[in-house]
Amino acid sequence: MVGTQVKHVDERGLDAAVAAGTALVDFWAPWCGPCRMMEPVLDELAEELGGAAAVVKVNVDEAPSLAARFRIAAIPLLVVLKDGREVRRLVGLQPKRALLSAVREAL
């Protein structure tokens, strides 16, 4: 189960969730095994970041316009945004240290 610090957003909520500051956005789908494996990693990351950066999840099946906007060809896709602009993109299952490093570079 996703922790309380990980925010699920839809097509209407993403821009507001990432407009200011640093955010890590996980584009995922419930049928994707590696995506499901990322859930506890993202929970730990959100807890470790303690609000310094937002951790946001977008279900690509429920947000096809966002999938198109971010040109998603494979999931999980993890995108680091700074003030709403993409600064880093990681594809596939990632270790927490790689995600933490990518987010900290953007802080």
- Identify which of 88, 86, 76 has the alpha carbon closest to the alpha carbon of residue 27: 76
Domain CATH number, residue 65 = 3.40.30.10
Range of the domain at 78: 6-106
Reduce the DSSP state of residue 74 to 3 states and report it.
coil
Look at residue 1 and tell me if it is in a domain. no
Residue 7 a catalytic site member: no
Residue 35 a catalytic site member: yes
82 versus 11: the higher-pLDDT residue is 82
Look at residue 70 and tell me if it is in a domain. yes
Reduce the DSSP state of residue 14 to 3 states and report it.
helix
> What pLDDT score does 4 carry?
60
Instruction: Provide the number of structural domains found in the chain.
Output: 1
- Identify which of 28, 7, 4 has the alpha carbon closest to the alpha carbon of residue 17: 7
Distances (CA, A) of 54 to 16, 33, 38, 94: 11, 23, 16, 17
Look at residue 51 and tell me if it is in a domain. yes
- Identify which of 78, 80, 73 has the alpha carbon closest to the alpha carbon of residue 91: 78
Q: For the segment 35-94, what is each residue's pLDDT rounded down to a tens digit?
A: 999 999 999 999 999 889 999 999 999 999 999 999 999 999 999 999 999 999 999 999
Q: For the segment 19-45, what is each residue's pLDDT rounded down to a tens digit?
A: 999 999 999 999 999 999 999 999 999
Contact yes or no for 83/24 (Cβ under 8 A): no
Look at residue 52 and tell me if it is in a domain. yes
Active-site option among 6, 35, 67, 75 = 35
Q: For the segment 1-10, what is each residue's pLDDT rounded down to a tens digit?
A: 444 689 999 9
Look at residue 64 and tell me if it is in a domain. yes
Active-site option among 3, 8, 21, 32 = 32
> What pLDDT score does 1 carry?
40
pTM (predicted TM-score): 0.93
